[in-house]
Structure 1
Amino acid sequence: MTWGIDLADGGAVLAITILLNHDQPLHYISGRAIHRASEAYRGEGKTDAKDAAVIADQVRIRRDLNPLHTGDETAIDLKILTGRRMDLVADRTRTVNRLRAQLTGIFPSLERALDLTNKSSLTL
Structure 2
Amino acid sequence: MTQRPPQVWAGIDVGKGHHWITVVDADGDALWNRKVINSESDILAAFGEVMDTADHVTWALDLVDGPAALLLGTLASHGQNPRYVTGSKFAAFKKSFSGQGKSDLKDSYIIAEFARCLRRQTVPVPAPSRITKELTLILSHRSCLSAERTRTINRMRALLTSIFPELERSFEFARSDGPLVLLCGYQTPAAIRRMGESRLTAWLA
Q: Is TM-score (shorter-chain normalized) higher than 0.5? A: yes
Give me the TM-score of the superposition, normalised by structure 1: 0.76
Higher Rg of the two aligned structures: 2
SS of residue paired to 1:45: coil
State the distance in 2 between where 1:9 and 1:31 align. 13
- Can you give the 5+ residue segments of structure 2 that lack an aligned partner in the other structure? 1-56, 183-205
- The equivalent of 1:45 in structure 2 is 101
State the distance in 2 between where 1:28 and 1:66 align. 5
Higher share in strand: 2
Q: Which runs of 4+ in 1 moved over 4 A?
A: 97-105
Matches within 5 A, 1:65-104: 65-97=122-154
Higher share in helix: 1
Q: Aligned pairs, how many?
A: 121
- Can you give the 5+ residue segments of structure 1 that lack an aligned partner in the other structure? none
- The equivalent of 1:21 in structure 2 is 77
Instruction: Give the number of the structure with larger relative contact order, counting CA–CA contacts within 8 Å between residues 6 or more apart.
Output: 1
Contact 1:5-1:26 within 8 A present in 2 as well: yes
Report sequence identity in percent.
33
State the distance in 1 between where 2:83 and 2:167 align. 59
Deviations, residues 64-110 of structure 1 (Å, cap 9, x unaligned): 122212113343333222212212223333444555567667xx2x4
Out of 114, 138, 143, the residue aligned to residue 58 of structure 1 is 114
Q: Which moved more, 1:114-123 or 1:22-31?
A: 114-123
State the distance in 1 between where 2:157 and 2:98 align. 57
SS of residue paired to 2:119: coil
SS of residue paired to 2:127: coil
Contact 1:28-1:68 within 8 A present in 2 as well: yes
Going from structure 1 to structure 2, the CA distance change for 1:123 and 1:50 (only over 3 Å counts) comes to same
Going from structure 1 to structure 2, the CA distance change for 1:113 and 1:99 (only over 3 Å counts) comes to closer
State the distance in 2 between where 1:38 and 1:123 align. 55
SS of residue paired to 1:3: strand
RMSD value over aligned CA atoms?
2.5
Deviation, 1:8, is 0.8
Give me the TM-score of the superposition, normalised by structure 2: 0.50
State the distance in 1 between where 2:97 and 2:153 align. 53
